């Protein structure tokens, strides 16, 4: 029997057996989005998938195929849709994908599902997709689905942030393509990180509003919103350790595993 936490690597009888045993299913919600000149477009797929893989292993769960296109990048959190290579879905499209996948999983007996956001802008459309999916399942007579939904980066200890940012954490939004994501990529996919290309034009200094069309100079030309310098695989490991430990604990607690 194939030993894998990835649903895509299991045959249907293997999947069936895992679900019958109560395995929670993790659905990573990624994106195809610019992450500066030193990181690839697939960062938001690689990271939540990597986190889910480790958490699933820890708690006996499965990882459904990562949704690789996310909701539109916003200038203040991802640089915006104008950067080449950022290819996104309308909110309605994204939410319908999440709805349909949840509905499909529910019809096959899954009763514990965890949506893991790996792209800031997916937060709200994933809420809507989850709500729509649960609504449909209830109408189909499946009222006992249990679900969690979160952004993986929120599972980090204060001490770790302090270690990573001795001068103070700039906040989640500005961390796009910056120290956290770069360090995690150096851990997971070092061959795709060109750290010498990390720009120095950040951090961005955004106003408290969105502006359309995006004015010239609103976003750093590199697409990096804060600072990537100082990233290391070791720091990525600190983060990953926190993510896996804290998420696993939360999942176990909520689902009684």
| Collapsed DSSP state (helix, strand, coil) of residue 188 | helix
Site stretch for a copy of itself (CB under 8 A), options 64-72, 157-165, 167-175, 227-235: 64-72
Q: How far apart are CA 174 and CA 121, in angstroms?
A: 13
Should residue 198 be labelled a site residue for a copy of itself when binding is judged by CB under 8 A? no
Contacting residue, 5, 55, 155, 181, with a copy of itself by CB under 8 A: 155
Query: Does 32 contact a copy of itself by CB under 8 A?
Result: yes
Beta-carbon contacts of residue 61 (< 8 Å; ≥ 6 apart) = 5, 23, 24, 25, 26, 55, 112, 114, 251
What distance in Å separates the CA atoms of residue 238 and residue 257, rounded to the nearest whole number?
A: 25
Residues 165-184 that bind a copy of itself (CB under 8 A): none
235 binds a copy of itself (CB under 8 A): no
Q: Interface with a copy of itself includes 21 (CB under 8 A)?
A: no
Please tell me whether residue 208 binds a copy of itself under the rule CB under 8 A.
yes
Q: Is 242 in the site for a copy of itself (CB under 8 A)?
A: no
Q: Could you tell me the smallest distance in angstroms from the CB atom of residue 128 to a copy of itself?
A: 4
- 91 lines the binding site for a copy of itself (CB under 8 A): yes
Q: Is the bond leading into 213 cis (omega within 30 degrees of zero)?
A: yes
DSSP letter assigned to residue 115: E
Known catalytic residues are: 33, 35, 44, 119, 121, 176, 181
Of the candidates 52, 101, 219, 226, which one interacts with a copy of itself according to CB under 8 A? 101
**C-alpha torsion angle, residues 163, 167, 168, 172 (rounded to 10):** -80
| Separation of alpha carbons 52 and 74, rounded Å | 25
- Return all residues near 104 (Cβ < 8 A) that are at least 6 apart: none
Stretch that binds a copy of itself, among 150-158, 166-174, 178-186, 233-241 (CB under 8 A): 150-158
Nearest-angstrom CA–CA distance, 236 and 182? 8
Minimum distance, C-beta of residue 234 to a copy of itself, in the bound complex (Å): 22
What is the dihedral sign for C-alpha 173, 123, 25, 60?
positive
Q: Is 163 in the site for a copy of itself (CB under 8 A)?
A: no
- 112 belongs to the binding site for a copy of itself (CB under 8 A): no
Nearest to 192 by CA among 67, 54, 37, 74: 37
Minimum CB distance to a copy of itself smaller for 35 or for 54: 35
Interface with a copy of itself by CB under 8 A: which range of 47-55, 126-134, 159-167, 230-238? 126-134
């Amino acid at each position: 029997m194939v030993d894998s936490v990835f649903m895509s690597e299991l045959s249907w009888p293997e999947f069936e057996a895992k679900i019958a045993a109560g395995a929670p299913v993790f659905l990573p919600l990624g994106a195809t989005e610019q992450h500066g000149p030193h990181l690839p477009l697939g960062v938001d797929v690689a990271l939540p998938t990597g986190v889910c893989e480790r958490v699933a292993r820890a708690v006996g769960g499965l990882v459904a195929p990562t949704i690789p296109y996310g909701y539109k990048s916003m200038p203040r959190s991802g640089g915006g849709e104008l950067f080449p290579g950022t290819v996104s879905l309308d909110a309605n499209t994204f939410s319908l994908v999440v709805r349909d996948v949840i509905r499909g999983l529910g019809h096959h007996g899954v009763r514990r599902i965890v949506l893991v956001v790996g792209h800031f802008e997916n937060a709200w459309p994933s809420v809507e997709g989850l709500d729509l999916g649960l609504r449909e399942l209830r109408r189909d007579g499946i009222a006992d689905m249990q679900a969690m939904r979160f952004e993986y980066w929120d599972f980090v200890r204060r001490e770790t942030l302090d270690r990573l940012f001795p001068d103070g954490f700039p906040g989640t939004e500005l961390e796009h393509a910056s120290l956290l994501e770069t360090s995690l990529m150096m851990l997971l996919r070092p061959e795709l990180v060109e750290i010498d290309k990390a720009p120095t034009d950040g951090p961005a200094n955004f106003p408290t509003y969105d502006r359309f069309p995006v004015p010239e100079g609103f976003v750093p030309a590199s697409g990096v919103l804060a600072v990537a310098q100082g990233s290391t695989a070791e720091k990525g490991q600190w983060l990953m350790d926190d993510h896996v430990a804290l998420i696993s604990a939360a999942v176990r607690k909520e689902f009684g595993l």
